[in-house]
């Protein structure tokens, strides 16, 4: 379910504060499930009887529920012990054998309390053990039972504890260390010992201070998270990374309390060296790509500026027009690189590119078109309005450049030929269905007549659509006057 608190809002008589407390518990109870190697089922009391509202399976052992029990409703006659604990008449229950999907399982009922009242019950259920538990399993189970006792007094979950803000959050299967109230190591799982040994901590770790051992390993010139000492001593429910010898350990501390006093801590340990290395590579790659796009954009803008300067020195109108068209095409490519510079993915939000292509095409083309009956000099320019309909969405970078050039060429062509004498409206209509993108460039001008458009810009657009986009480019007269050019292409998946 997306939100336990929202689900519980439909339960009569269940207040918001209790719902938020249970939401906090469910956000972190995988730790409890893994320590106890048990399924956890959260029960609340309704007018019709106990209702199962959440379920968690362990990653450290087998499950007893193949079918999710959420939304299961039982009556008081079917499970009187569960009702007793839910009503606060019993602090907890001893292990009892129950039937789960035609198999025997052991169940313990533990109350969830906050503000001195029982708001729910967690049923801890695991398969009936066939052999005595190992030392490792026994120590983990004892830590899990300690958290159950804290839960029964309202001390667990811990308010303000981090719920995996970054990737690589350590879990019980990664490694676990038990500390006493002084921060001395009482016990560590084999995976935790292996992680510390890889970081250079040799010998028996029992009775030694984890904070002192780690201080000797931390590189003096490496930045150190200010919360690291508190985590290593088990004094704060927080997460921190420790870097040493080119590797990284992710650590999470869960203080253990009794009657409000800290009596020890659980430290979860995970070697995230490879994960952090890949993250750094991605950050470096993204920074490099951004720098490349930035430099390409600047270079293209420089080329466009040089073309503009050169065109002003030309006495031939044909030469000025040719340089102006070249400048416009270079500027269009620069627009795509500028859009890529703004985003973190190798894709472009193409609707923004269309807006800028429209302005560029209309500004460049409308400066040269005038009314047929206007004098040669000092005549007012015709009015060209623009309209954008629909959404093009995200377009891969390698296809965004040719598509932007095509739209600019077709928009310029529509202004220079369709709207040159009368003015009117230039419309870009986008239709996106999955990977298929259709873009219509329409004008309400004189129309193309019986002769399809020709010229360098048209040839460029046709070549780009067929060669770079693998699509089609068609022209047709609009029923109510004017011309419509349609680009129909199938785009590559974004982030391929």
| Predicted confidence (pLDDT) per residue in 100-112, tens digit | 888 899 999 999 9
**How is 297-356 classified by DSSP, letter by letter?**
HHHHHHHHHHHHHHHHT---HHHHHHHHHHHHHHHHHHHHHHHHHHSSSSEEEHHHHHHH
In whole angstroms, what is the distance from residue 361 CA to residue 411 CA?
6
Rounded to an integer, the average pLDDT of 171-193 is 91
Percent of the chain with pLDDT over 70: 81
- Residue 29, SS3 per DSSP: coil
pLDDT for 224: 63
For the chain, the average pLDDT equals 81
pLDDT for 372: 47
Q: Taking 50 as the threshold, does the pLDDT of residue 165 lie above it? A: no
Rounded to an integer, the average pLDDT of 202-216 is 78
88 near 111, Cβ under 8 Å? Answer: yes
Cα-trace Rg, the chain:
34
In whole angstroms, what is the distance from residue 317 CA to residue 300 CA?
24
Which residues are CB-neighbours of 21 under 8 A, at least 6 positions away?
112, 114, 119, 157
- Model-wide pTM > 0.95: no
| Predicted confidence (pLDDT) per residue in 334-360, tens digit | 766 666 566 555 777 888 888 877 777
pLDDT for 140: 94
pLDDT for 156: 92
Q: Taking 60 as the threshold, does the pLDDT of residue 250 lie above it? A: yes
pLDDT for 266: 95
460 burial class (0-12, 13-18, 19+ CB within 10 angstroms)? Answer: middle
Rounded to an integer, the average pLDDT of 302-325 is 77
**How is 231-292 classified by DSSP, letter by letter?**
HHHT-SS-EEEEEETTEEEEEEEEEEEETTEEEEEEEEEEE-HHHHHHHHHHHHHHHHHHHH
Running DSSP on this structure, what letter comes out for residue 75?
-
pLDDT for 445: 79
Q: Interior CA angle at 303 toward 301 and 304, to 5°?
A: 65
Running DSSP on this structure, what letter comes out for residue 416?
I
> Quick one: which of 213, 228, 240, 231 has its CA closest to 267?
231
**Residue written as token pair 């439909």:** 10
Q: Is the model more confident about 373 or about 460?
A: 460
Running DSSP on this structure, what letter comes out for residue 376?
S
Structure tokens at 1: 């379910």
Q: Taking 60 as the threshold, does the pLDDT of residue 18 lie above it? A: yes
Q: Taking 60 as the threshold, does the pLDDT of residue 221 lie above it? A: no
pLDDT band at 414 (very low <50, low <70, confident <90, very high): confident
Q: Taking 90 as the threshold, does the pLDDT of residue 378 lie above it? A: no
Rounded to an integer, the average pLDDT of 373-394 is 70
Structure tokens at 262: 């800290």
């Amino acid at each position: 379910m997306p939100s336990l608190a929202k689900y519980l809002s439909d339960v009569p008589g269940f207040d918001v504060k209790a719902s938020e407390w249970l939401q906090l518990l469910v956000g972190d109870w995988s730790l409890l499930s893994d320590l106890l190697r048990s399924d956890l089922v959260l029960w609340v009391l309704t007018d019709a009887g106990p209702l199962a509202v959440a379920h968690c399976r362990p990653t450290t052992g087998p499950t007893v529920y193949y079918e999710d029990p959420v939304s299961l409703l039982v009556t008081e006659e079917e499970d009187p012990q569960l009702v007793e604990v839910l009503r606060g008449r019993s602090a907890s229950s001893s292990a009892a054998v129950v039937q789960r999907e035609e198999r025997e399982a052991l169940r313990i009922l533990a109350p969830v309390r906050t503000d001195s009242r029982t708001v729910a019950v967690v049923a801890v259920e695991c398969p009936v053990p066939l052999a005595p538990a190992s030392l490792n399993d026994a120590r983990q189970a004892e830590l899990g039972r300690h958290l159950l006792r804290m839960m029964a007094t309202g001390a667990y979950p811990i308010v303000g504890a981090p719920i995996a803000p970054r990737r690589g959050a350590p879990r019980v299967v990664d490694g676990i260390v038990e500390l006493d109230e002084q921060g001395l190591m009482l016990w560590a799982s084999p995976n935790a010992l292996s992680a510390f040994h890889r970081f250079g901590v040799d010998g028996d770790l029992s009775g030694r201070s984890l904070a002192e051992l780690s201080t000797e390993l931390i590189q003096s010139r490496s930045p150190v998270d200010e919360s690291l000492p508190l985590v290593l001593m088990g004094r704060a429910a927080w997460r921190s990374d420790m870097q040493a010898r080119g590797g990284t350990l992710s650590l999470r501390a869960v203080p253990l309390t009794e009657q409000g006093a800290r009596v020890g801590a659980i430290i979860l340990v995970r070697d995230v060296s490879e994960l952090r290395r890949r993250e750094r590579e991605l950050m470096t790659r993204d920074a490099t790509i951004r720098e490349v796009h930035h430099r390409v954009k600047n270079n293209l803008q420089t080329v466009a500026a040089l073309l503009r300067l050169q065109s002003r020195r030309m006495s031939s109108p044909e030469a000025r027009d040719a340089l102006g068209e070249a400048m416009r095409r270079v500027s269009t490519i620069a627009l795509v690189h500028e859009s890529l510079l703004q985003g973190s993915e190798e894709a472009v939000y193409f609707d923004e590119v269309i807006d800028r292509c429209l302005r560029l095409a209309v500004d460049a083309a409308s400066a040269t078109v005038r009314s047929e009956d206007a004098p040669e000099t000092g005549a007012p320019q015709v009015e060209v309005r623009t309209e954008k309909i629909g959404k093009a969405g995200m377009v891969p970078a390698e296809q965004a450049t040719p598509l932007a050039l095509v739209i600019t060429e077709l928009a310029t062509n529509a202004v220079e030929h369709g709207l040159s004498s009368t003015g009117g409206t230039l419309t870009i209509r986008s239709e996106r269905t999955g990977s298929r993108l259709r873009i219509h460039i329409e004008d309400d001008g004189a129309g193309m007549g019986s002769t399809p458009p020709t010229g360098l810009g048209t040839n460029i657009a046709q070549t780009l659509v067929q060669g770079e986009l693998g699509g089609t480019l068609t022209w047709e007269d609009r029923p109510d006057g004017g011309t419509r050019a349609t680009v129909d292409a199938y785009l590559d998946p974004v982030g391929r």
